[in-house]
Amino acid sequence: MDESYAADQEYERLDFRNEKPFTEYENCHFRGCVLSNLNLGEVIFSECEFEDCDFSSSALNGTSFRDCNFKNCKLLGLRFEECSDFLLSFRFEACDLSFSSFFQLKMKKTRFDNCKLEQVEFSGADLTGAIFTNADLNNATFRNSILEGADFRKCENITINPEENRLKNAKFSLESLPGLLTRYNLKIS
C-alpha cells in the first residue's frame, strides 16, 4: 500500500501542521481542518471537498487542485499562480480569499459565490465565463485580464478599467457602472 496516497477519506478537525501530509489526495473530504502556514508544494488534490478549512499563508509551489471545491474556507494570502496548471479547476463558495493572487492564471468558468475577494490580484488572468455571485471585490486588481463572458452582475465594490481588460459579453449590473467609469472621474448619481 502506498503511504503517500489517500483516496476516499474523510478528515475532520485535523491540524495538518502536526501531521505529515500525503503527496496525493483523491476524492477526499476535509472538514474543519487546518492547512495554514504549510508547504503544500507538489501535493495533488483531485476531486476533493474542503469545508471550513484554513489554508492561509501556505506555499502552493506546484500544488495541484483538480476539480476541487472550497466552502466556507479561509484562503488568505495564497499565491494560486504558483499551482500546477495541469487540469487546474476549483470552485469557491462563502470563502475569504483576501490578499490572494491569481496572477496570469487560466481559470475559465471558475465560480466565486458569496466570497470576500478584497485586494485579490487577477491581473493577466483568464476568467472567461467566470461567475462572481455576491462577491466583494474591494480593491481587487484586474489589469490585462480576459473577462469575456464573465458575470459580475451581483458583485459589490467592483472597479475594472474597460480599456485595460477584455470585457466582450461580460455582464454587469447598473449598480456596478460607477466601478467601470472610475478612471474618468465622473460623478454619477
CATH number of the domain located at residue range(s) 1-97 in this protein? 2.160.20.80
Do 91 and 67 meet the contact criterion of CB atoms below 8 Å apart?
A: no
Task: Give the closest residue to 144 by CA, choosing from 110, 109, 105, 113.
Answer: 105
CATH class of this structure's domain 101-189 = mainly beta
Q: Where in the chain is the domain with CATH 2.160.20.80?
A: 1-97, 101-189
pLDDT tens for the 189 residues of the chain, in order = 356 999 999 999 999 998 877 899 999 999 999 999 999 999 999 999 999 999 999 999 999 999 999 999 999 999 999 999 999 999 999 999 999 999 999 999 999 999 999 999 999 999 999 999 999 999 999 999 999 999 999 999 999 999 999 999 999 988 877 777 677 666 666
In angstroms, rounded to a whole number, what is the distance separating the alpha carbons of residues 150 and 159? 14
User: In the chain, how long is the greatest CA-to-CA distance?
Assistant: 66
